[in-house]
Structure formats: C-alpha cells, structure tokens
Amino acid sequence: MQILKPALKELNKLPHFKNLCYEKLKTKGMGNRITHIQFYFQPVTKTSKDREQAKRDIRTIAWKIRSDRMLKELQRSRKQTEQKQQDELAMEILGHTFQHPQQLHVTLVIDQIQPVEQGYEFVLKYYNRGQEVKAHETHAVLPNKEALLEQIARANWLKIADYPLTNTNQQPAPTRQTQEQPTPQQQSTQTQQPTQTSIELQQEPNGFKTFKNLSRGQQPSQQSTSYKDILRSYIGRTLYMNSNGVPSSLKIKDITTLPSGHIQVDIQDVDKPRKSLKPFSFDSAKHFENWFRKYVE
C-alpha cells in the first residue's frame, strides 16, 4: 500500500486517470486478509449519494469501450454491404443495348460503369451499322441506374430486347413501325431510292450527346425481312456466359454467312479486348437466334 497510494496520486495528474480510486476487498472465509484490490473511477461530488451514482468500475468502462468499437465495426460492415448490393444492382444494366425507332441503324450501348463519389459514371457508346463512333462516346455521372434509364427513355431509346425477333415465317408486330409491311397499293407507288445518312453531333437538354439530322432516304418497305438484315442487327450486342464458373461478357463483332450456308459469329471479350477468341459457327440463322436468346440479358 505504501507504493500504491503515491502511484495513484501521480496517475490522478493525468487526464485519463483522473479520479481513479481503489478499494481493498476481503474474501469471505479468509479472515481479515485482503485478497484483492478493485480499481474504479469516482468523480468528486458534493454528497456521498451523488458520488456513489458517479462511481464507475474499470470493467464497466472497458466493456463500454469494447461495445462502442463493435458497434462502429457493425455499422461500417453494414454500410459496405449496402454499397456492394447497390453496386451489383447498378452493374445489372452493363451491356444493355438500345435503338431509336427512327434510327434503327444507330445503336446505343452502356459500355462501362464506374463507382464515383456522386454515384456512378456511365460510359455510353454509339454504333452506326455495327461500327463504333468513338467521337460520340458519352460520359454521364448519375446517382443510380434508374436515373440513367429514365433519361434514356425520355430520349425515346428502346431496349433492343423489346423488339420482337422476326423471320420470314412470322407475322410482324403491328405496333412497330420498323416491322410494318406495305399494302400492294403502297408498293406500286413506292420507288427505290438510295439510303442517305448525314451525321452531326448535338447536345440534348438532359446532357446526352446524340446524332443530329440522322435520317434515311425514303425506302420501300420490304414484304419480308431477310435474314441477312436481321443478323446484322445483332452486331454490337453483348452476351453473358459462364464457363467453368467464370462469368464473361462477349460482344458480337461481326456475323458472316459462309458459302456452305453456315453462320459464323466473331466475338470479342469485353474485359480482354485483345484476347483472340474462336468464332462460333451455326447451321442456320434460326439456330443462331435460338442460341442468342439463351445468353442475352
């Protein structure tokens, strides 16, 4: 005790040990022998009742410190989990492809999504007849994917999956102007004219860059849609595959018809564009369409 009292006196001079006290305790059945010493904090108060209420055991203080630390870790873990779920939801639209009803040869693709402080940075790319128009690449910073899809919808872009896949044996959808067939009377009055396309970039009020004056010359509506035109519309679209448990995103670069009648589809890995991939081969266009539906989102 001769050492303990001066030690406590010195410790009380430090902020963290101010009002540190101790109590000598005896164990029942051990006589008057002091068995252990209990330390506690007891601030100086006016009355003994207030002093007893302000008494805090060291173990209670340690428990509170551990509890506060665990609470902070749980809050940080929950925040990280919520952010991860939000990132996964945003990534669901990666690779989505859109077309404008009046500009069917122009394709809009959500190519990249990166988390930023304000939300997410979406990289949108335009393709004209399957060829990327790099000068028109658009970057948009928005809080979530819903804000992006809303702006795309306001610009009258439709997701390609919303367009029905048609062939020569199917009736075209009456609600799509792009699939309407002319009546015999209309066919007699229409004359073939070459396609005329002029491209100029313009800034929309919603912040997106789109093509200005992008129009086609008057063309006769075909009585039946050829498979060649249908296949070309798949160029630039993205497939999602899972090989041996490893997911990958593949973009269709080109589609050609071989002399044997087979369909050859050249693909490119979105994450590894320089990697050489073996093209897919299909017996017919119908075979390719059935296969495509399995892997397109």
- For residue 263, how many other CB atoms are within 10 A of its CB? 22
Please compute the mean of the pLDDT values over residues 105-130 and round it to a whole number.
88
Q: What are phi and psi of 161, to 5 degrees?
A: -65, -20
Residue 245: left if φ>0, alpha if ψ -120 to 50, beta else—which one? left
Q: What is the pTM of this model?
A: 0.35
What token pair was written down for 154? 């306001």
Q: What is the DSSP string of 209-226?
A: EEEES------PPPSS--
The predicted-structure confidence for 201-253, as pLDDT tens digits, reads as follows 455 554 444 545 444 444 444 433 466 777 888 888 888 887 665 677 888 98
Residue 222's pLDDT is 45
Element (H, E) at 85: helix 58-91
Residue 1's pLDDT is 59
d(CA 257, CA 3): 96
Exposed/middle/buried for residue 282 (C-beta within 10 Å: 0-12, 13-18, 19+): middle
What token pair was written down for 94? 């990666």
> Which residues 6+ apart lie within 8 Å of 247 measured at CB?
240, 241
d(CA 126, CA 110): 9
SS3 (DSSP) at 43: coil
- Its sign, for the CA torsion 7, 12, 18, 22, is positive
Residue 59's pLDDT is 67
d(CA 141, CA 292): 31
Q: Which amino acid is at 209?
A: K
Residue 169's pLDDT is 39
* Residue 95, CA distances (Å) to 132, 133, 145 in order: 14, 16, 13
Residue 204's pLDDT is 54
